[in-house]
Amino acid sequence: MAEDKKGENKYSIIIPTYNERLNIALIIYLVFKHLKDFNFEVIVVDDGSPDGTQDIVKQLQQVYGEDHILLRPRAKKLGLGTAYVHGLKHASGNFVVIMDADLSHHPKYLPSFIKKQIETGASIVTGTRYVTGGGVHGWNLMRKLTSRGANVLAQTLLWPGVSDLTGSFRLYRKSALEDIISSVVSKGYVFQMEMIVRATRKGYHIEEVPITFVDRVYGSSKLGGSEIVEYLKGLLYLLVTT
């Protein structure tokens, strides 16, 4: 396996949170477990969660160290896309990973993202549910159809050459992420699709690794009907502007 055992690379793991009190300790434990051979930091971007997520993160900082877990909160819920932008400003690594807090993105995949990047030299490695070896577990039929439909629609209109456009488990070379993010306008969930489409248009080397997305056990999704409308608007915007 290609490895970066405490080598020159540092991975900044950005985890956006909104009401993830019941998930945050486990995801951080698992990140530490699976990245023990690598240089990394975890950056939690919490948007003033009323459930006290930040209190748990502060306790975890006492256990793991404040240099390993950074809490970079914002006063209120400002949207998932802007949470990544905020986290990136505080990242000290030369690579950045973006992942959900609710264990839908299992940290066990992190070494395979890193391995793929080292083997190929890619600027982006994106987790995909829609190739052999990947999948979705635990979603109801409606959510499966929504995700599949969103992907098929975007594939048909935009031809990006990436199999999972709405997934958000990704590793970026930090310089690439900074460059791409500077041209992204979306603020919510559609941010993921805009990021990867703009990356393909800019000619970045993108590789994929299969992941199985497992629906959360604790808490609830923050994806509402308004995000679906925003997705459709974002799709049209990309169609016109890219």
Ligand X SMILES: Nc1nc2c(ncn2[C@@H]2O[C@H](COP(=O)(O)OP(=O)(O)O[C@H]3O[C@H](CO)[C@@H](O)[C@H](O)[C@@H]3O)[C@@H](O)[C@H]2O)c(=O)[nH]1
Residues that bind Mg ion in the complex, under the rule CB under 5 A: 102, 104, 216
Q: Where are the beta strands (DSSP E) in 138-181?
A: 170-173
Q: How many residues bind ligand X (CB under 6 A)?
A: 25
- Structure token pair of residue 87: 């986290």
Closer residue to ligand X (CB): 2 or 145: 145
3-state secondary structure of 98: strand
Which of residues 79 and 134 has its CB atom nearest to ligand X in the complex? 79
Cα separations in angstroms, 195 against 108, 176, 179, 238? 24, 11, 10, 10
Nearest to 102 by CA among 20, 45, 169, 31: 20
Per CB under 6 A, does 194 bind ligand X? no
- Check residue 166 for interaction with ligand X (CB under 6 A): yes
Crossing angle of helices 191-201/80-89, nearest 10°? 60
Judged by beta carbon distances under 5 to 8 A according to partner kind, the member of Mg ion, ligand X, none in contact with residue 230 is none
Considering the complex, state which of residue 226 and residue 241 has its C-beta at the smaller distance from ligand X: 226
Binding flag, residue 79, ligand X (CB under 6 A)? yes
Footprint of ligand X (CB under 6 A): 16-18, 20, 45-47, 77, 79-80, 83, 100-102, 104, 147, 166-168, 189, 192, 216, 221-223
